[in-house]
């Protein structure tokens, strides 16, 4: 069974920041080929006729052929700059079929300042300055980029040491926000500092933001046919378990298309972690510091941060620099990896912009005995404007099967579960799309757009367990249309599934521009009847908005029986989940969950409460709620509902805890999750 309620227009908690998007439509395919003899020496006198290039088995005509002869001789101390690129807002592209930087090695120093402590920022800057002053070679050209909240190109490619040193010294070390994935979990320090409001609630997905910045950087670099190495300075990269894996693969695929290799450098260096933290932070609290739980959690988090860096490197052909104090060696490592090579360029004989993977094979003459090193393929680009209805439908179906995710449309997604019967659970799916990503067309005096949604759920064996396919036309008039850029669209659907571990792949498309977004995640539906020693509860849903079903902007399926299966619907109202769990002081936080009493004929009294913690300090606790009735005879579930005022809490990061206790059975359950509270929205000024 699948149910779809429709699309709601919901409040967005902060105005989305304007972002810069870089893209290229060129169809020139560039392959960088390293050719060496059997002794490992470079072959320098090959011609274009010595190479045979095929794509998916079909020969391709080589249109660009250049040999890049790179020297490793260091620059003299007072060497004048031979290339002085103009300062620009991006990387200056090459002309068509042109190799802009002949016999030059292109290195990019990318400083990810978001969530990087000041000490790490200073360490990364010193390493970059050491390389520029003492280790840069004659063939090297260096560009400098940074990311704090937006991507900035600080310097285009140059070998001017003084200019590079000036730019690197100009990167101001300081507190750049809270993009470190802190959740105020047990074992973390409580600094008491106020939360710094992000540009929008979608900034909660900080890992996706970092990866998207890297993707924008490699797309700019993709305009240059030369081989590029991007040295990525960061204090690890957090993985929380709910990150969008599609963005990671999209960034890696963009790097492969653009001939960019990642060389991540962990700016923390070799870390000797103290069991309960070092002198740079306050001591944690809770029993975790005595049981070892805090130390294990910190170590697991640290390893996860390094694993993401290693994934970026290995998937693009680079190498991560981890647990080393001489960070400049990370740049030297990228420098030495780019030796002399050939640039081969061709225009693909396959004009289809279908996003499919194209396999590349390069061969040299048999009598040359050359050992070749090159990328094995790329993902083709995608075009939307020329698609007819059948093409668009096929694009959606194929997008679920492609290995190259699409991330032009931002998505946030939440999956929950509620028990329907002994072996069946209702799994509601809530998707949030920022209104600023939607472009509306004016039709008949109203502003409207059509949204397509497609998704599939597969079990641990890869078997298909559920699908969703909806096409919804959203029409906005008057005030709603004007508010769209500052609000979000919420889409709801749902499945019925047995207990198990599943993978969800969901894709949304806005049909005015063809922008698509992919979200992939794993989730588990537990078997709440397998063990009876604890009190079992459903997912806990947090929201700040109840919407009447009549306020639905569009509905794909109006089936009252299916809508009735959704426990978030009560009467003619629906609780809209706050997917990002971001709230404002002038709102109420609605809490909904279900508790299970599987072996009782009559309902046993349960007592529940909601607490809000700031670090280890309890900031709020609701009055105990006694639930004495409401047990569903079939599912043996009882609903629990709370409404929590947030006005008296200070803005910041908190942990929300829901506690449920069954005195008769002596069973209890506790659920915890991080939330963020923003300041109340300023009232509009009164004018006469």
Record the tokens describing residue 531, joined without a space.
């063990």
Q: How confident is the model at residue 22 (pLDDT cuts 50, 70, 90)?
A: very low
Closest CA to 5 of 519, 428, 483: 428
pLDDT, one tens digit per residue, over 464-517 is: 899 888 888 877 766 666 677 777 888 888 889 999 999 999 999 888 778 888
- Contact call for residues 547 and 10 (beta carbons, < 8 A): yes
The arithmetic mean of pLDDT across residues 85-98, rounded, is: 66
Tell me the per-residue pLDDT of 641-653, one tens digit each, with 9 for 90 and over: 999 999 989 999 9
How far is Cα 505 from Cα 497, in angstroms, rounded to an integer?
A: 16
Query: How far is CA 15 from its chain centroid?
Result: 19
Residue 319 pLDDT exceeds 60: yes
Question: How does strand 105-112 pair with strand 412-415?
Answer: unpaired
Residues 6 or more apart in contact with residue 297 via CB below 8 angstroms? 185, 186, 187, 288
Domain ranges of the chain: 2-18+386-678, 70-339
Would you say residue 105 has pLDDT above 70?
Answer: yes
Specify the pLDDT at position 69.
Answer: 86
**CB-count exposure of residue 18 (10 Å: 0-12, 13-18, 19+):** exposed
pLDDT band at 85 (very low <50, low <70, confident <90, very high): very low
Give the mean model confidence (pLDDT) for residues 212-231.
Answer: 89
Query: What is the pLDDT, as a whole number, of residue 238?
Result: 73
440: helix, strand or coil: coil
Spatial CA neighbour of 308 closest among 299, 320, 296: 320
Give pLDDT tens digits for 382-426: 666 656 666 677 667 767 766 667 777 888 889 999 988 888 899
Residue 621: is its pLDDT beyond 80?
yes
* pLDDT (0 to 100) of residue 179: 41
pLDDT at residue 71 greater than cutoff 80: no
Looking at residue 225, its pLDDT comes to 87
Among 84-93, 366-375, 619-628, name the most confident range: 619-628
* The pLDDT of residue 6: 62
Structure token digits, residue 128: 């970059």
pLDDT surpasses 60 at 301:
yes
Residues 6+ apart with CB under 8 A from 71: 103, 137, 138, 139
The model's pTM is 0.62
DSSP letters spanning 542-578: EEEEEEEGGG-SB-S---HHHHHT-TTEETTEEEEE-
**Helices and strands of the chain, counted as H and E runs:** 10, 34
The least confident of 287-296, 340-349, 364-373, 618-627 is: 287-296
pLDDT tens readout for residues 169-212: 998 877 554 444 444 444 555 444 444 434 444 444 567 778 88
User: What is the rounded average pLDDT of the residues 628-632?
Assistant: 85
Q: Is pLDDT above 60 for 629?
A: yes
Give me the helices (H) in 149-203, please: 161-169
pLDDT tens digit string along 131-160? 999 999 888 999 999 988 778 899 999 989
Which of 30-34, 355-359, 540-544, 604-608 has the least mean pLDDT? 355-359
Residues 627 and 580 sit within 8 Å (Cβ to Cβ): no
Two structure tokens written together for 311: 């994934």
**What's the CATH code, domain 2-18+386-678?**
2.60.40.10
Looking at residue 200, its pLDDT comes to 42
Q: What is the pLDDT of residue 195?
A: 43
Here the tokens at position 543 are 């929201």
Tell me the DSSP string of 576-615: EE-TT-EEETTSEEEEEEEEE-TT-SSPPPEEEEEEEEET
Give the residue, 274 or 633, on which the prediction is more confident: 633
Higher-confidence residue of 561 and 319: namely: 319
To the nearest 10°, the Cα dihedral for 183, 187, 191, 192?
70
What's the mean pLDDT in 339-365? 86
How far does CA 24 lie from the centroid of its chain?
Answer: 22
Instruction: Choose between 674 and 70: higher pLDDT.
Output: 674
**Mean pLDDT score of the chain:** 80
Q: Is the pLDDT of residue 527 over 70?
A: yes
Q: Class assignment of domain 70-339? A: alpha beta
Percent of the chain's residues with pLDDT above 90: 24
Beta bridge partners of 523: 502
Concatenated DSSP letters for 23-88?
-----EEEEEEEEE-TTS-B-----GGGEEEEETTEEE-EEEEEEE----PBPPTTPPPS-BPPP-
Answer yes or no: is pLDDT of 77 > 70: no
pLDDT at 24: 46
Domain pair 2-18+386-678 / 70-339, same fold: no
For residue range 651-668, what is the model confidence (pLDDT) as tens digits? 999 999 999 999 888 888
Pick the range with the lowest mean pLDDT from 203-212, 337-346, 518-527, 607-616.
Answer: 203-212
């Amino acid at each position: 069974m699948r149910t779809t309620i429709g699309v709601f227009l919901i409040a967005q908690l902060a105005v989305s920041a304007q972002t810069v998007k870089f893209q290229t439509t060129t169809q020139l395919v560039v392959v960088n080929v390293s050719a060496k003899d059997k002794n490992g020496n470079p072959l320098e006198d090959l011609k274009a006729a010595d190479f045979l290039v095929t794509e998916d088995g079909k020969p391709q005509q080589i249109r660009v052929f250049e040999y890049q002869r790179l020297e490793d001789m260091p620059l003299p101390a007072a060497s004048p700059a031979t290339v002085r690129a103009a300062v620009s807002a991006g990387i200056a592209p090459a002309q068509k079929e042109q190799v802009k930087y002949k016999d030059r090695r292109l290195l990019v120093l990318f400083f990810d300042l978001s969530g990087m402590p000041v000490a790490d920022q200073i360490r990364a800057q010193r390493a970059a300055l050491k390389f520029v002053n003492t280790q840069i070679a004659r063939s090297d050209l260096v560009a400098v980029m940074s990311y704090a909240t937006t991507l900035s190109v600080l310097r285009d490619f140059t070998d001017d040491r003084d200019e590079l040193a000036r730019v690197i010294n100009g990167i101001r070390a300081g507190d750049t926000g809270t993009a470190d994935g802190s959740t105020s979990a047990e074992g973390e320090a409580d600094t008491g500092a106020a939360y710094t409001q992000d540009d929008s609630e979608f900034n909660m997905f900080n890992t996706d933001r970092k990866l998207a910045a890297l993707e924008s950087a490699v797309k700019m670099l993709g305009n240059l046919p030369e081989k590029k190495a991007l040295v990525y300075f960061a204090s690890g990269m957090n993985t929380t378990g709910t990150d969008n894996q599609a963005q990671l693969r999209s960034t890696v695929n963009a790097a492969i298309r653009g001939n960019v290799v990642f060389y991540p450098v962990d700016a923390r260096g070799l870390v000797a972690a103290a069991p309960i933290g070092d002198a740079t932070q306050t001591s944690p609290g809770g029993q975790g510091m005595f049981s070892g739980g805090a130390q294990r959690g910190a170590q697991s988090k640290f390893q996860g941060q390094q694993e993401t860096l290693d994934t970026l490197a290995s998937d693009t052909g680079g190498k991560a620099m981890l647990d080393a104090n001489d960070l400049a060696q990370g740049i030297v490592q990228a420098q030495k990896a780019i030796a002399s090579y050939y640039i081969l360029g061709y225009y693909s004989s396959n004009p289809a912009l279908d996003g499919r993977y194209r396999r590349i094979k390069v061969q040299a003459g048999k009598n040359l005995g050359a050992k070749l090193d090159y990328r094995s393929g790329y993902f083709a680009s995608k075009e939307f404007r020329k698609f007819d209805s059948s093409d668009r439908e096929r694009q959606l179906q194929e997008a679920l099967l492609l290995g190259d995710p699409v991330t032009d449309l931002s998505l946030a997604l939440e999956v929950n579960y509620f028990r329907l019967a002994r072996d069946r659970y209702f799994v509601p799916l809530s998707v949030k799309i920022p209104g600023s990503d939607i472009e509306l067309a004016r039709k008949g005096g109203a502003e409207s757009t059509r949204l397509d949604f497609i998704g599939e759920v597969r079990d641990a064996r890869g078997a298909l367990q559920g699908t969703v396919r909806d096409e919804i036309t959203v029409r906005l008039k008057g005030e709603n249309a004007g508010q769209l850029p500052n609000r979000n669209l919420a889409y709801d659907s749902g499945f019925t599934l047995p207990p198990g571990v599943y993978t969800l792949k969901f894709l949304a498309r806005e049909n005015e521009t063809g922008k698509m977004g992919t979200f992939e995640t794993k989730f588990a539906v537990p078997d709440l009847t397998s063990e009876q020693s604890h009190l079992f509860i459903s997912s806990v849903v947090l929201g700040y908005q109840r919407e009447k079903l009549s306020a639905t902007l569009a509905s794909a399926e109006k089936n009252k029986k299916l809508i009735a299966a959704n426990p978030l619907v009560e009467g003619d109202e629906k609780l809209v989940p706050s997917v990002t769990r971001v709230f404002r002081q002038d709102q109420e936080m609605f809490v909904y969950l279900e508790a299970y009493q599987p072996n009782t004929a009559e309902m046993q009294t349960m007592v529940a409460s909601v607490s809000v913690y700031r670090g280890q300090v309890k900031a709020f606790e609701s009055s105990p709620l006694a639930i004495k009735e409401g047990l569903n005879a079939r599912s043996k579930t009882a609903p629990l509902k709370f409404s929590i005022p947030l006005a008296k809490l200070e803005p910041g990061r908190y942990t929300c805890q829901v506690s449920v206790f069954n005195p008769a059975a002596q069973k209890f359950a506790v659920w915890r999750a991080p939330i963020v509270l923003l300041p109340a929205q300023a009232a509009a000024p009164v004018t006469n």
